[in-house]
Amino acid sequence: MKTHIKLVIVAALAVAVIAAVAFKQKSNTRSASGNVTSGQIALTTAVSNASDNLATAAPPGTISTKLPKLLDLGADKCIPCKMMAPILEELKREYAGRLEVEFIDVWKNPEAGQRYGIQMIPTQIFYDAEGRERARHVGFIGKDDILAKFRELGVELTPK
């Protein structure tokens, strides 16, 4: 079988898995009134209103480092998530002490997926230094685009 056909098959399978996860999580994230919760996301980047009930970067009672944060919610076995892993590690190294980077596997920890209103993976949540959610992105995102998003949000990060 030719390589490009194999790639098309793998891509189709990845889309099917992501769609199945999104469908399952959508049916599990209804509020008591039957409405979709405010934490659910669209397939495009969405900037959250700071006055809404936003997820905080650190759980209550934890010590905050007062750093901007990138939270990536995905799965170890998800292809786009695997592609994100080295980027997240690079960001952790290059911006240590200036940016907090965290990964949560929502297949191993489905409660986190529900808590953050995740419908598709990977989803990246951008937080400011005060722990307020400022933006979300769904899907693979490169290092330069992550840094550009933080710049857009008024966070200028300089490497070591």
User: What residues are labeled active site?
Assistant: 78, 81
Which DSSP string do the residues of 9-59 spell out, in sequence order? Answer: HHHHHHHHHHHHHHHHHHHH-B-TTSSBPTT---SS-BPPPTTS-PPBSS-
Which DSSP string do the residues of 84-97 spell out, in sequence order? Answer: HHHHHHHHHHHTTT
Let me know how long the chain is: 160
Q: Describe the crossing of helices 79-94 and 143-152 by its angle, rounded to 10 degrees.
A: 60
The letter for the amino acid at 83 is M
